Chains A and B, each alone.
Chain A
């Protein structure tokens, strides 16, 4: 089982649609959770951290369920500029007790006019 698993995608949605991405992680001792966005051939950029209470940033809402080891990202009123790959990222301690980011494969989103 992969350490971080995401919806395989790709997602093709019309402008204005609401789209949800899911992510599960295997390490119950994971400490922190993030969603990153990566445009084609570019570096990833932090979209938002994910908190246990759930958090919202404009059209983006992130949820965390520690019991189910599940993270989600909801994008409302999607825009053409939201087209990108969305990466679920988990931070845990590795064997050497060092913090390490573990990256999901990413889910590709294409928002169509």
Chain B
């Protein structure tokens, strides 16, 4: 079945540094990718939707200059957390949808970011 690979699975970084998270679709072309954030004991919150070759659409309250999203190819989207702060520590998950997809059923394994 379709597989979405997310990397890294876990990262610890210092405050003020930037962290890049990759999301790859391995056996299908992901025209749309979604980036979520999940805090402990909270539901998944959609951060942004990215379409290949165009600018990402950010949800209300998500700073686009802080969370840079690039979707340059049909198999890769990246999320860069710039100038990370401890409050950015969270579980970040991507999901992908192919051209004919009906649901965003394919999720990456998630990235647990800890900013110290």
Name the interface residues of B7-52: CB closer than 8 Å to any CB of A. 34, 41-46, 49
Contact between B44 and A103, CB atoms less than 8 A apart: yes
Contact between A41 and B49, CB atoms less than 8 A apart: no
A98: chain B residues at CB < 8 Å are 49, 57
Residue tally, chain A, CB below 8 Å to B? 20
- B113 at interface by CB-CB < 8 Å: no
Contact between B103 and A41, CB atoms less than 8 A apart: no
Interface of A is mostly: strand
- B79 at interface by CB-CB < 8 Å: no
Shortest CB–CB separation between residue A45 and chain B, in angstroms?
Answer: 7
B6: chain A residues at CB < 8 Å are 43
Contact between A44 and B44, CB atoms less than 8 A apart: yes
- B63 at interface by CB-CB < 8 Å: no
CA distance A4 to B44 in the complex (A): 12
Contact between B103 and A91, CB atoms less than 8 A apart: yes
A41: chain B residues at CB < 8 Å are 91, 110, 112
B49: chain A residues at CB < 8 Å are 98, 100
Contact between A43 and B109, CB atoms less than 8 A apart: yes
Contact between B103 and A46, CB atoms less than 8 A apart: yes
Name the interface residues of A85-113: CB closer than 8 Å to any CB of B. 87, 91, 96, 98, 100-101, 103-106
For the complex of A and B, list the 6 residue pairs with the smallest distance between their C-beta atoms, beginning with the closest.
Answer: A43-B107, A103-B43, A103-B44, A46-B105, A105-B43, A43-B110
Can you name 7 extra interface pairs (CB under 8 A) apart from A43-B108, A96-B57, A101-B46?
Answer: A4-B43, A32-B103, A43-B107, A43-B109, A46-B105, A87-B44, A103-B45
